Every structure is written in structure tokens, then in C-alpha cells.
């Protein structure tokens, strides 16, 4: 019964006008920023130590507000204008016959790239799973209900997820993996600190010999600027070493994007391990 009411609540929130949702974002962003300010500033002190405290606090408040808008914007993916920054590269993805992998940080409206790819005839699926191990049933019920209403194909994190992903890619689908640095995985250095990235995309790409691309999006009002770049896998006889180097390469690419647009990243969570 609890799950039923959570889904009903999600459906009600989903159909609220975007203007009301944006108003709610402005209303709650500041209290959330204050509550999480210590954690956020710890992350920023590692990432951008040269900024003044005033600037760091401004980034936290701005990114919190934008993150909430990006989350609730998931309910209104059709309303956004999508501006592709590398059209030739994206056309390369659309023209490919087989499946592939897109790795991205949580930047831009949630799963805008998944929606956009499906709208342009390329089957794409995203992965959901609240919590470090994907085992929070309440959050998962709300996330999946919103995804169904938004028309976003998804899979939930589970024990046999790797096999499911491999099958999807072999069938020509594209898998979108959000690399949020909150799950266990391959050790990497990120902003000179120790953390971890999931090995899943790199393992699959090596085993299936499928293409992998790095993506991030920037929210500018009702426009989503979609950035893509090729991801060159390391190729040696040592798979474990390849995956470790691939993970570090992705950490570096994410760091570069976040450094350039710090207000677009979510600073409220502990990313370092």
C-alpha cells in the first residue's frame, strides 16, 4: 500500500505545471543549501580551492537550485529545446547500426539525453537505482513511476544487470550510465582526492567491442546544450589495467567539465572515498 501511495504522489507531482515546480525550487533551494552547506563546501574546497568562500557559497546555492530544476524538469522533457554542440559526432551515433554506451555525470535535466536519443530513432535505456547499492524501494518506486510517465526506457540496478545490459547492447540499444562517484568501483583520483567509479561501462565496452561516448549537458533556461565526445578505450593485454586507466580517463573528463561549469554539478553529496 505504501508503494501505491508513493506512485500516486509521484503522478500528482508529475502533472503539476512547470511554473509551479520552478517556484517550489526557488522556495526550497536555499534551506537545502544551508542544511548541506558544510558537505558541499568540503567538496568545493577540494575541487576549486582558489575560489573565495563567498564564491563557493554562491555556487552551492546556484547548483542546488539548478539541480532541483533539472530533477523536476524530468517531468517536462518535451518542453525543452535541445541544442547539440557536436552535430557531426552525434550523427555518427545515430548512424551506427549496433548498440553502444554513453557515460555522463549528473549535469543537465535528468535523462534528457536518453529522451532525445529515443526521439531521434535511436533506442536508449537508462539505469535507475537509488542508494549506493540501488536498494531503496521507496525512491525506486517514485523514480520508475516518473520514468513511465515521461516515456523513458529504464532498467533497475540488480544482480543480473550486467547480463541484461550486454543483451540490450547486442540488440542494438544504447545504454546511458550516470557516473555519480557514489557507488563502489575502480579507484580513481578526482580533484586530487581518492574516490571510485563503476567499472561496468568499461568492462562491457571491452567485452562487446562496442563504442563508448562521454556526454554532459548544460541547462540554460529551457535549453539543454548537449555535449558529446568520443571515449578512447585503453587497449592492452591486461583487461584490469585497461579498465583502471579507462576509469581514470573518465574521472579526468568529468573533472574538466565540472571545473568549467561548477554551478551545473551537484555538490551536496560526498563523492570522495
Determine which of 31-40, 42-51, 139-148, 189-198 has the lowest per-residue pLDDT on average.
139-148
Ordered by start, the domain boundaries in the chain are 77-261
Band of the pLDDT at 213, cuts 50, 70, 90?
very high
Share of the chain above pLDDT 90, in %: 78
Reported as a single tens digit per residue, the pLDDT across 215-229 is 999 999 999 999 999
pLDDT over threshold 70, residue 173:
yes
User: 147-172: b or e for each residue (b if 16 or more CB lie within 10 Å)?
Assistant: beebebbbbebeeeeeeebbebbeee
Do residues 224 and 236 make contact, with C-beta atoms less than 8 angstroms apart? no
Determine which of 12-26, 50-64, 127-141, 246-260 has the lowest per-residue pLDDT on average.
127-141
pLDDT over threshold 60, residue 180:
yes
Q: Report the alpha-carbon distance of residue 70 to residue 80 in Å, rounded.
A: 11
Band of the pLDDT at 131, cuts 50, 70, 90?
very low
Band of the pLDDT at 130, cuts 50, 70, 90?
very low
User: Mean of the pLDDT values across residues 229-235?
Assistant: 97
User: Mean of the pLDDT values across residues 205-223?
Assistant: 97
For the chain, count helices (H), then strands (E). Answer: 9, 9
- Whole-number pLDDT of residue 273: 65
Band of the pLDDT at 134, cuts 50, 70, 90?
low
User: What's the whole-model pTM score?
Assistant: 0.93
Helix (H) / strand (E) element for 272: namely none
Band of the pLDDT at 14, cuts 50, 70, 90?
confident
DSSP state for residue 217 in the 8-state scheme:
E
DSSP string, 145-207: HHHHHHT--EEE--TTHHHHHHHHHHTT-EEEEE--S-S--EEEEETTEEEEE-SHHHHHHHH
User: Mean of the pLDDT values across residues 8-28?
Assistant: 88
Q: Report the alpha-carbon distance of residue 207 to residue 209 in Å, rounded.
A: 6
User: Mean of the pLDDT values across residues 231-238?
Assistant: 96
- Whole-number pLDDT of residue 144: 87
Share of the chain above pLDDT 70, in %: 96
User: Mean of the pLDDT values across residues 66-77?
Assistant: 94
200-208 vs 161-170: helix crossing angle, rounded to 10: 40
User: Mean of the pLDDT values across residues 180-197?
Assistant: 91
pLDDT over threshold 60, residue 85:
yes
Q: Residue 200, Cβ neighbours under 10 Å: how many?
A: 22
Amino acid at each position: 500500500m505504501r508503494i501505491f501511495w508513493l506512485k500516486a504522489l509521484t503522478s500528482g507531482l508529475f502533472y503539476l505545471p512547470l511554473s509551479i515546480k520552478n517556484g517550489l525550487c526557488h522556495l526550497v533551494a536555499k534551506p537545502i543549501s544551508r542544511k548541506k552547506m558544510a558537505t558541499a563546501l568540503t567538496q568545493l574546497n577540494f575541487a576549486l580551492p582558489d575560489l573565495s568562500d563567498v564564491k563557493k557559497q554562491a555556487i552551492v546555492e546556484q547548483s542546488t537550485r539548478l539541480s532541483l530544476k533539472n530533477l523536476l524538469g524530468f517531468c517536462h522533457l518535451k518542453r525543452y529545446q535541445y541544442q547539440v554542440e557536436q552535430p557531426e559526432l552525434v550523427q555518427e551515433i545515430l548512424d551506427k547500426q549496433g548498440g553502444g554506451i554513453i557515460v555522463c555525470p549528473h549535469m543537465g535535466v535528468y535523462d534528457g539525453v536518453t529522451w532525445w536519443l529515443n526521439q531521434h530513432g535511436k533506442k536508449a535505456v537508462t539505469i535507475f537505482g537509488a542508494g549506493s547499492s540501488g536498494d531503496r524501494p521507496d525512491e525506486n518506486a517514485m523514480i520508475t513511476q516518473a520514468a513511465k510517465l515521461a516515456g523513458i526506457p529504464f532498467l533497475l540496478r540488480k544482480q543480473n544487470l550486467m547480463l541484461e545490459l550486454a543483451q540490450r547492447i547486442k540488440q542494438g540499444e544504447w545504454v546511458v550510465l550516470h557516473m555519480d562517484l557514489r557507488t563502489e568501483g575502480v579507484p580513481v583520483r578526482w580533484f586530487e582526492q581518492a574516490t571510485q567509479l563503476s567499472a561496468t561501462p568499461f568492462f562491457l565496452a571491452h567485452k562487446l567491442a562496442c563504442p563508448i561516448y562521454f556526454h554532459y549537458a548544460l541547462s540554460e533556461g529551457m535549453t539543454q546544450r548537449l555535449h558529446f565526445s568520443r571515449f578512447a578505450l585503453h587497449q592492452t593485454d591486461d583487461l584490469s589495467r585497461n579498465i583502471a586507466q579507462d576509469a581514470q580517463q573518465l574521472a579526468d573528463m568529468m573533472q574538466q567539465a565540472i571545473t568549467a561549469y561548477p554551478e551545473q554539478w551537484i555538490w551536496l553529496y560526498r563523492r570522495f572515498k
